[in-house]
Structure 1
Amino acid sequence: MTLKLASITLIAFTFFNCNTSKTTIETQSAVANKEKSVSIENKKWVLTTLEGQELSHSKQQSAMIYFTLNSENNRITGFSGCNTFMGTYKLENGNRISFSQMASTRRACPEGSFNEQQLLSIFETVDNYTITDNSLALNIAKRVPLAIFKSGILEPSPVVEKYWKLKTLEGKDVKMAENQDREMFFTLKSQDNRVTGFAGCNTINGQFELEAGNRIRFYNMATTLKMCPDVDVNESAFLKIFEIADNYTISGEELRLNVGRRTPLAVFEAVYFK
């Protein structure tokens, strides 16, 4: 009788262990599959911890330090406290990630501001990431995370993906000149931060960066070299706007490009096509 009872207990114990192991394996598999299904692209990642030090609100100077990964062109763009930065990235199996050397704007930053180079250097060394709930950790090997970010809301700016037709330039109304092919305008493309437009005779193109507080910067602006002697338009005045504008304001369907708090350099209106 004792032998029979011992046999039954052994069978029950073996069955329990098998089920427990099966459940554990299934749970681990489910967690792994869940991690694989979580994408870190096309999201706003806001910095919370850098090399073990939590960032205080005052240290961020009331502006979120963040980056985003654009899955369409594998480009990273972000804001490092004073300057914007950009580059490319590559994702591989096993949550591996690598970045190109970052390019950054060269704005003069206030003394004692956030150490931007400390953040940018992380992208040069990181080789993997882990994601838990709404937190993203950038790591090197299996060491303590170099930086931790939280998921933020990636809100589209009302200034991008619109056709902005020039209304006034330096306080004066703008009208199309005779023989002018089309009105003067520009558009901002969010996919690759590209500027395109028409200056009255020549087309224009370049790049732009948006920052907190409705700040904007244009760079790498270029034009075609077409000669239009019969078109009475001041292209140089229009192009000068993109050199000095540093902020914008929007009211309804009207956009103003400004420098500091002075009178708007130019006023544009949104045009919609059917």
Structure 2
Amino acid sequence: MKTKLTTVALLAVTILSCNNGKKSNSENPEKATDATNTIENVSIENIKWVITTLEGDAINNPESNGEEIYFILDSETNRVNGYSGCNTFMGTYTIEKGNRISFSQLASTRKMCPDSKINESQILSIFDTADNFTISGNKLALNKAKRAPLAEFKKAESTNEPIVEKYWKIKTLDGKEVTLAENQEREIFFTLKTQDNKVTGFAGCNTVSGEYTLEKGNRIRFKNMATTLKACPDVAVNEAEFLKIFELADNYTVNNDVLSLNVGKRAPLAVFEAVYFK
């Protein structure tokens, strides 16, 4: 009888131990789920990623030809675009569970940069080869399987520049007041977009597009500026004078809602005022 009681007691202890073990593993299932989701929900999209290492070699100066080598993933369109050292590139991407990522064949502009110190083919091959990513804080690595990272990137610091994402309407050009011609389609203006560092605007007859770079000390540079080829013979505006601003300007000053684009320490090339739309 004593043996039977001992056996029953041992069985009871075993069952209780198992139940307690199960309870401890699932004691707070919501907490475990949250921890998993925290890892999976870390997004790398809609962020400017600037390169820091390439195939294990540090890139101490990530700028080539005056602009950082970077890429951005647009979550709305699933498009990737960036700058590879001389040319801009674009394509599409797919992100799957387990930090899996794949890129389509990328297309790029065909600008020649013989003085560039960056091998663009190496940059572009990252996206051709990568199949997964890892992220830690503000650092992102694009990888192939479990090998060493193909390249590492850092999250670009958000800009608090007071001149971006504003509609800048021209006030004066070379010291002379600019007025809207009667048959002019709209006022002359430009906007600096944070996305891809793009410039958009209107020169009096044609639309304007291009790229810009902001640097310390209120330095600014414009490049790849282009316009549409519309003819407006009856509009009394000299677009060439306006476009010359972007060719010459190398710094700016801003005071509240008034912006001056300058070259050196001379008088402003042009003055603009911010316009806010309701």
TM-score by length of 1: 0.73
Aligned to 2:135: 131
Q: How far, CA to CA, are the matches of 2:197 and 2:167 in structure 1?
A: 15
Aligned match of 1:210 in 210, 213, 217? Answer: 213
Q: Equivalent residue of 2:164, what SS?
A: coil
Residues 170 and 189, structure 2, Cα contact 8 Å, conserved in 1 = yes
Change in Cα spacing, 1:141 to 1:212, as seen in structure 2 (3 Å) is: farther
Q: How far, CA to CA, are the matches of 1:127 and 1:241 in structure 2?
A: 44
Q: How far, CA to CA, are the matches of 1:107 and 1:165 in structure 2?
A: 34
Equivalent residue letter for 1:236: A
Equivalent residue letter for 2:75: S
Q: Displacement of 1:251 after TM fit?
A: 1.6
Q: How far, CA to CA, are the matches of 2:242 and 2:199 in structure 1?
A: 14
Aligned match of 1:197 in 182, 197, 201? Answer: 201
Indicate the percent of aligned positions where both proteins have the same amino acid.
Answer: 41
Aligned to 1:87: 90
Q: How far, CA to CA, are the matches of 1:183 and 1:153 in structure 2?
A: 33
Aligned to 2:232: 227
Q: How far, CA to CA, are the matches of 2:248 and 2:86 in structure 1?
A: 16
Aligned match of 1:188 in 165, 189, 192? Answer: 192
Return 118-127 or 217-226, whichever deviates more. Answer: 217-226
Aligned to 1:71: 75
Work out the number of aligned pairs and report it.
266
Residue 43 of structure 2 corresponds to residue 39 of structure 1: yes
Residue 253 of structure 2 corresponds to residue 250 of structure 1: yes
Q: Displacement of 1:225 after TM fit?
A: 2.1
User: Which structure 2 segments of 5+ residues have no match?
Assistant: none
Equivalent residue letter for 2:130: V
Larger radius of gyration: 2
User: Which structure 1 segments of 5+ residues have no match?
Assistant: none
Equivalent residue letter for 1:228: P
Residue 153 of structure 2 corresponds to residue 149 of structure 1: yes
Equivalent residue letter for 1:221: A
Equivalent residue letter for 2:108: A
Q: Displacement of 1:13 after TM fit?
A: 4.2
Aligned to 1:176: 179
Q: CA RMSD in A?
A: 3.9
TM-score by length of 2: 0.72
Q: How far, CA to CA, are the matches of 1:176 and 1:142 in structure 2?
A: 62
Q: Displacement of 1:115 after TM fit?
A: 5.3
Residues 250 and 264, structure 2, Cα contact 8 Å, conserved in 1 = yes
Q: Displacement of 1:146 after TM fit?
A: 1.6
Residue 28 of structure 2 corresponds to residue 10 of structure 1: no
